[in-house]
């Protein structure tokens, strides 16, 4: 089947790496994600990845710990680098060529983020992992994903979650919640649907960058989305 999207940014939450654990990294999850990404790479798709750090550190909790917000955000950025290194290591064991780029200089473990270099890696069919968010406090990894996607001319952001799209309410709490197949940015905003944080959402809207929210934990789903199957929810202008 033909591929619909040739260059994508895949956004994963740090919590998705926990699996059934309370914190940390579940090897079963990283191996599954590596297999999913490998299938997409073998189909000719150029893939960049942004992953959160919530499985290691939750910046939102820093106020209770007495840590100031900016410091807490930098700690979260370091957590994304740990996840990026773990994902890179597992993907390379699966035979995938990767590059880890950091928005904060840490040259012993990652290349510094340079837009043209990132795009060149993608052209060479290397999976590029963007770590350390935007490099600035007060911005989430959702915003980092939107920013990097626009910078590298990605055709779509794929937000991999544990639910199969956007619903009228939380489907894990409200059994009567119904799923949106397609929704516009304006509709998602007016209905106060929690797709991404507002900064990231606005950046996507202004640049007419579509978002697809789908269940990344269902084997084969990533490739199906890339082939244009109607899986998850499409947010579009």
Under a CB-based contact definition with an 8 Å cutoff, are residues 206 and 158 in contact? no
Write the DSSP symbol of residue 211: E
Helix axes 69-93, 27-42, angle to 10 degrees: 60
Q: Which helix (H) or strand (E) holds 212?
A: strand 211-215
Q: Helix (H) and strand (E) counts for the chain?
A: 8, 11
Q: CA-CA distance, 43 to 175, in Å (whole number)?
A: 37
Domain boundaries, the chain: 7-236
pLDDT-flagged residues of the chain (< 50): none
| pLDDT at residue 173, rounded to an integer | 85
Cα–Cα distance, 27 to 21 (Å, whole number): 11
* 219 burial type by CB count under 10 A (0-12 exposed, 13-18 middle, 19+ buried): exposed
pLDDT at position 144, please? 97
Cα–Cα distance measured from residue 111 to residue 177, given in angstroms and rounded to the nearest whole number? 44
Angle between helix axes 141-151 and 115-123 (nearest 10 degrees) is 70
Nearest by Cα to 18 from 232, 162, 127: 162
Q: Tell me the whole-structure pTM to 2 decimals.
A: 0.94
C-alpha span between 170 and 52 (Å, rounded): 21
Enclosing H/E stretch for 50: strand 46-51
User: pLDDT tens for residues 74-122?
Assistant: 999 999 999 999 999 999 999 999 999 999 999 999 999 999 999 999 9
The CATH architecture of the domain made up of 7-236 is: 3-Layer(aba) Sandwich (3.40)
Confidence at residue 62, expressed as pLDDT on a 0 to 100 scale: 55
Radius of gyration of the chain (CA): 17
* pLDDT given for residue 104 in this prediction: 97
């Amino acid at each position: 089947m033909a591929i619909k999207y040739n260059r994508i940014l895949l956004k994963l939450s740090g919590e998705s790496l926990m699996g059934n654990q309370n914190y940390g990294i579940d090897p079963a999850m990283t191996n599954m994600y590596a297999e999913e990404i490998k299938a997409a790479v073998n189909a000719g798709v150029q893939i960049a990845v942004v992953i959160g750090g919530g499985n290691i550190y939750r910046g939102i909790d820093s106020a209770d710990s007495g840590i100031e917000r900016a410091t807490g955000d930098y700690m979260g950025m370091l957590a994304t680098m740990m996840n990026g290194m773990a994902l890179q290591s597992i993907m390379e064991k699966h035979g995938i060529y990767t590059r880890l780029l950091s928005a904060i200089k840490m040259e012993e473990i990652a290349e510094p983020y340079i837009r043209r270099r990132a795009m060149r890696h993608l052209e060479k069919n290397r999976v590029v992992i963007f770590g350390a968010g935007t490099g600035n406090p007060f911005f989430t990894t959702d915003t980092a994903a939107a920013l990097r996607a626009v910078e590298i001319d990605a055709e779509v952001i794929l937000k991999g979650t544990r639910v199969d799209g956007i619903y009228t309410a939380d489907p894990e709490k409200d059994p009567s919640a119904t799923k949106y197949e397609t929704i516009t940015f304006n509709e998602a905003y007016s209905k106060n649907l929690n797709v991404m944080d507002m900064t990231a959402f606005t950046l996507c809207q202004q640049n007419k960058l579509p978002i697809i929210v789908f269940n990344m934990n269902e084997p084969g789903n990533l490739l199906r989305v890339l082939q244009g199957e109607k899986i998850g929810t499409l947010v579009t202008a």
